[in-house]
Chain A
Amino acid sequence: MTRNKKTLIFFLLTLFFGFVRLVQAVNMESDHYQIQWGNINIGSGKPDNENYSLGITMGQIAPGLYSASGYKVRAGFQYIQTIIPFSFTISDVAINLGSLIAQSPSTDANTLTVRAGGAGGYQVLAYENHPLKIHQGAEIPDTLCDNGNCTEASAEVWSQNTTYGFGFNINGNDTPSDFVDTTYFRQFANDEDNEIHQTVMEKTGVTSQSQATVTYKVNISGSQEAGQYETGIVYIAIPTY
């Protein structure tokens, strides 16, 4: 081997080893979390591009085959190539039904907004923690509507001032069909009685934005005990699977 060739090889080897860094097991940490194991097997679902995902999948795809890590994972929906988060908004959480006068219904409203551009569908469930009541005291029962037949799952007309109770109407995108118009009301599912939480919005398919307005209504008789009545209405928004 000529001297020049030896010099060149020596130079290239020096260049190579001079820039090689030692590979160490990583302890990943920040102010918010610390991960303490040698195998980095985190699936973050984060794409390279801000707008598009490659349909992130960790581990091998072929059936019957695992990678050495022993898992196969898919984050997100296979047929949706965007990374839009699943988002749910309530326009105003303080529902104020004011000072009640017997046989004079009082209403208030807010708007629910779902953004599910990265999901193949969604549903919004709703329930009340308990009927409207004074703390450990009297209750305003859930309405039965004018014909006495509305439930947490089925809406009926509530328009008479001699029909009492508490209920809601919802209208807008993706709302149940039993809310025929704004005179149809349901009770909220009562969590205190373990009633099944009911769907108030749902859609099969991608939605960039769905909105619906919830109108809360209460009406009392002259014999209703005076006091400050309250409850909590809970909304659960979940994508479909």
Chain B
Amino acid sequence: MRQALSILLFLLISPFFLAKPIWAKVSLSIYPSLLEVMIQPGKTYTQAYEIVNDSEADLYLQAKIVPFEPIGPEGQIVLSNPKYQASNNYFSLANSGISLNQTFKLKAGNREQLVLKITIPQQASEKDQYFTFLIEQSSQGQFLNQTGGENLIKVGSNILLTISQSGNPFKQSYLAEFLARPKIADLFNKINFEILIQNPGNAFFKTNGRIDIYHRLTQKKVASLQLRPDNVLADYERKIYCLEGENTLPCQFSSFLPGPYRAILNFSPDGAGEEQTKTIGFWLLPFRLVLVILILFLIVWQINKFRYKRDS
């Protein structure tokens, strides 16, 4: 009895002395997720960001500005500076108790508004610069009762900055690729349009435009696909998708009307620059339908032939 009580007592007390397993969900969010700023030299703009710590533990964080470069044609980036130092003095935080590259504590379940101030020197060059506003776990401060924990989580929001005195920087676009694949497709298959737009200019622009599809024999417009207004950064390129409402879709077309088609792509940088147009052709043919009919015909013919031989 005494032994049983001792064991029971041990089991009740031991959780307070045994090492607690260290585990925690870590979650950070940031809003807005993208900031596009066109600004004159000598001017200042401020933007409020909301950071939320949805983790199960308090987090020690730092806010940083990191230059980025685009990589790949689909809007991905690589952070340029491996040591994550801001490359200029444009940015600061207006928060009274928090500065860039300074550790602050954000309690579990809490949110913090960071007010990012962008000040452009009067002598700044007129060009595009791209940055990520990065919120990362700091190696300072305690995390899960351990000091000096490794950085684990970082979230960012991209900043596209155009410095321009006039507000009308030189924007140039080039339609590098507009293809229909395949060029000849079966009636029941989809035609995929591949679009690649390049930006040899000095400032990023959005790809405002659409693809209009006409049936060559009837001369009627049978479809219109809206291009997603993606940003094409200066001296880079972007693969363009289509948009239906808020949904991103591949640019595709299908129809049950066979024959030759014409697709006309019209777009202009920001919907206001020089419009570019390109026309391509493709065919939709009833290959499978013809094949099925042919097979059925052959079967019927063979059956009739067999019957004729039998009767004769």
Max chain B C-beta neighbours (<10 A), residue from A41, A45, A235? A45
CB-based contact B28/A88 at 8 Å: yes
CB distance from A118 to the nearest CB of B (A): 6
CB-based contact A93/B24 at 8 Å: yes
| Inter-chain contacts of B54 with A (CB < 8 A) | 87, 89
B82 on interface, CB distance cutoff 8 Å: yes
CB-based contact A64/B168 at 8 Å: yes
CB-based contact A94/B22 at 8 Å: yes
A49 on interface, CB distance cutoff 8 Å: no
CB-based contact A85/B26 at 8 Å: no
Compute how far the CA of A29 lies from the CA of B113 in the bound complex, rounded to whole angstroms.
12
Indicate whether A65 sits within 8 Å of B246 (C-beta atoms), given known contacts A33-B95, A71-B37. Answer: no
Across the two chains, which residue of chain B brings its CB closest to A58? B45
A73 on interface, CB distance cutoff 8 Å: yes
| Inter-chain contacts of A197 with B (CB < 8 A) | 78-79
Across the two chains, which residue of chain B brings its CB closest to A29? B96
CB-based contact B32/A118 at 8 Å: yes
CB-based contact A235/B94 at 8 Å: no
CB-based contact B152/A45 at 8 Å: no
Compute how far the CA of A212 lies from the CA of B112 in the bound complex, rounded to whole angstroms.
28
Compute how far the CA of A204 lies from the CA of B73 in the bound complex, rounded to whole angstroms.
11
CB-based contact A65/B167 at 8 Å: yes
CB-based contact A35/B115 at 8 Å: yes
Give B34-88 interface residues, CB cut-off 8 Å to A: 34-40, 42-48, 50, 52, 54, 70, 74-79, 82
| Inter-chain contacts of A123 with B (CB < 8 A) | 76-77
CB distance from A225 to the nearest CB of B (A): 21
| Inter-chain contacts of B82 with A (CB < 8 A) | 191, 194
B interface majority secondary structure: strand
Compute how far the CA of A199 lies from the CA of B79 in the bound complex, rounded to whole angstroms.
12
CB-based contact A32/B96 at 8 Å: yes
Compute how far the CA of A33 lies from the CA of B95 in the bound complex, rounded to whole angstroms.
4
Give B122-137 interface residues, CB cut-off 8 Å to A: 130, 132, 134, 136
| Inter-chain contacts of A75 with B (CB < 8 A) | 32, 34-36, 47
Number of B residues with CB within 8 Å of any CB on chain A: 78
Compute how far the CA of A34 lies from the CA of B94 in the bound complex, rounded to whole angstroms.
7
CB-based contact A231/B48 at 8 Å: no
| Inter-chain contacts of A176 with B (CB < 8 A) | none
Max chain B C-beta neighbours (<10 A), residue from A35, A41, A87, A241? A241
| Inter-chain contacts of A41 with B (CB < 8 A) | 44-46
| Inter-chain contacts of B154 with A (CB < 8 A) | 234-237
Indicate whether A196 sits within 8 Å of B28 (C-beta atoms), given known contacts A33-B96, A41-B45, A73-B37. Answer: no
CB pairs A–B below 8 angstroms (25 shown): A32-B98, A34-B96, A64-B168, A70-B42, A71-B37, A74-B36, A75-B34, A78-B229, A79-B228, A81-B246, A85-B31, A87-B54, A89-B25, A90-B25, A90-B153, A93-B25, A93-B144, A93-B153, A118-B31, A120-B228, A121-B248, A234-B154, A237-B156, A240-B158, A241-B34
Residues of A within 8 A of B (CB): 29, 32-35, 41-46, 58, 63-66, 69-83, 85-94, 113, 115-116, 118-121, 123, 125, 129, 191, 194, 196-197, 199, 202, 204-206, 231-241
Ranked 8 nearest A-B pairs via Cβ: A232-B150, A240-B75, A64-B168, A205-B248, A87-B29, A70-B43, A89-B27, A85-B31
Known pairs A33-B97, A63-B168, A89-B27. 7 more at Cβ < 8 A? A32-B96, A45-B31, A71-B37, A85-B31, A94-B22, A241-B34, A241-B233
